[in-house]
């Protein structure tokens, strides 16, 4: 475990547990012949935001949209209720990110193990913090995940030993990964996207696109590209 956080109470790398989930129809068993999506939101958001994207990218696939375990301080007073976070800061850096990323990925992976049948393929999909986790799940347990979708994410540097234990295995598995980011994103610096894309290109089967004039967000161009890509890798039917 790492140092105390000055933003979200607790210590970087402390153990986490996923407890709140929004399921698709029939508790995620509406279309069991297709992979199920595990969705992870970003800083200050909740499980509803990511679930809303599914109607655009994979309306006939099941999903489980996870709520991050920690509350963003002060968000309880907001108009829409509390917002949640996977990490002890919006975007931790260096060793702090290694520790928090590993703790959150282990929590998600443990939830998947406990709640989704072993023989059902899982697609990890996230935005921002959740996008970092969609990649980090592959660095923790790559065999379990059919593909990953990283929307405006970032990469843990791997400075803390043991926090990305499967990197060498991942490089030999040819896992499909979709990486999308905006040219006008000021939340995650462009050099971090470049570093993430370069790392992924060496470890996975990467599809990446930079979207002109897009900030730290998603838009219909990205959703359309993602829907097409999911059909190409046989995760979805490709129908709307």
pLDDT surpassing 60 at residue 240? no
> What was the pLDDT predicted at 97?
98
Mean pLDDT for 45-56 is 95
Provide the number of structural domains found in the chain. Answer: 1
CB 47 within 8 A of CB 39: yes
Render 151-196 in DSSP notation, one character per residue: ES-------STTSSTTHHHHTTT--EEEEEEETT--SS-HHHHHHH
| C-beta separation of 37 from 63 below 8 A | yes
Strand boundaries in the chain, DSSP class E: 21-23, 36-40, 63-66, 70-71, 84-85, 122-127, 145-151, 176-182, 205-211
* Residue 137 in domain: yes
Residue 185 domain flag: yes
In the chain, what percentage of residues exceed pLDDT 70?
Answer: 97
Q: Is the pLDDT of residue 79 over 70?
A: no
Quick check: is 167 in a domain?
yes
Write down the pTM of the prediction: 0.96
Is 239 domain-assigned?
Answer: no
Whether residue 11 is predicted with pLDDT greater than 70 in this model: the reply is: yes
- Residue-wise pLDDT tens digits, 112-160: 999 999 999 999 999 999 999 999 999 999 999 999 999 999 999 999 9
- Asked whether residue 6 is assigned to any structural domain, the reply reads no
Q: Is residue 219 over pLDDT 60?
A: yes
The pLDDT, as a whole number, for residue 239 is 57
pLDDT grade for 18, boundaries at 50, 70 and 90: very high
- pLDDT for 166-213, tens place per residue? 999 999 999 999 999 999 999 999 999 999 999 999 999 999 999 999
Answer whether 27's CB lies under 8 Å from 17's CB: no
Is 102 a member of any domain?
yes
Q: Smallest Cα–Cα separation from 180: which of 131, 213, 136?
A: 131
Mean pLDDT of 93-115: 99
pLDDT at residue 238 tops 60: no
Q: What is the CATH number for 169?
A: 3.40.50.1820
Query: What integer is the mean pLDDT of 79-96?
Result: 93
- The band of 78, judged by pLDDT with boundaries at 50, 70 and 90, is low
The average pLDDT across 59-85 equals: 90
Domain that holds residue 211: 23-232
Q: Which CA distances in Å does 149 have to 40, 64, 104, 131, 160?
A: 10, 15, 17, 7, 25
Q: Which residue shows structure tokens 């698709």?
A: 24
- Asked whether residue 177 is domain-assigned, the answer is yes
Query: Is residue 125, in this structure, part of any structural domain at all?
Result: yes
- What average pLDDT does range 221-238 have in this prediction? 92
């Amino acid at each position: 475990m790492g140092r105390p956080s000055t933003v979200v109470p607790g210590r970087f790398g402390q153990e986490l547990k996923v407890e709140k989930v929004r399921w698709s129809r029939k508790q995620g068993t509406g279309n069991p012949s297709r992979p199920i999506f595990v969705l992870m939101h970003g800083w200050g958001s909740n499980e509803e935001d990511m679930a809303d994207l599914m109607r655009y990218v994979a309306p006939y696939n099941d999903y489980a949209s996870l709520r991050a375990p920690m509350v963003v301080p002060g968000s309880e007073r907001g108009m829409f209720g509390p917002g949640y976070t996977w990490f002890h800061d919006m975007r931790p850096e260096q060793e702090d990110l290694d520790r928090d990323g590993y703790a959150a990925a282990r929590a998600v992976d443990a939830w998947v193990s406990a709640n989704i049948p072993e023989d059902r393929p899982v697609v990890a999909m996230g935005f921002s913090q959740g996008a970092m986790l969609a990649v980090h799940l592959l660095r923790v347990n790559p065999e379990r995940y059919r593909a990953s979708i990283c929307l405006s994410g970032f990469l843990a540097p791997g400075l803390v030993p043991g926090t990305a234990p499967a990197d060498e295995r991942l490089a030999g598995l040819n896992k499909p990964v979709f990486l999308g980011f905006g040219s006008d994103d000021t939340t995650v610096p462009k050099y971090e996207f470049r570093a993430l894309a370069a790392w992924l290109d060496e470890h996975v089967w990467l599809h990446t696109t930079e979207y002109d004039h897009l900030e730290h967000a998603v838009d219909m161009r990205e959703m359309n590209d993602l829907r097409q890509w999911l059909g190409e890798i046989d995760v979805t039917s490709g129908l709307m």
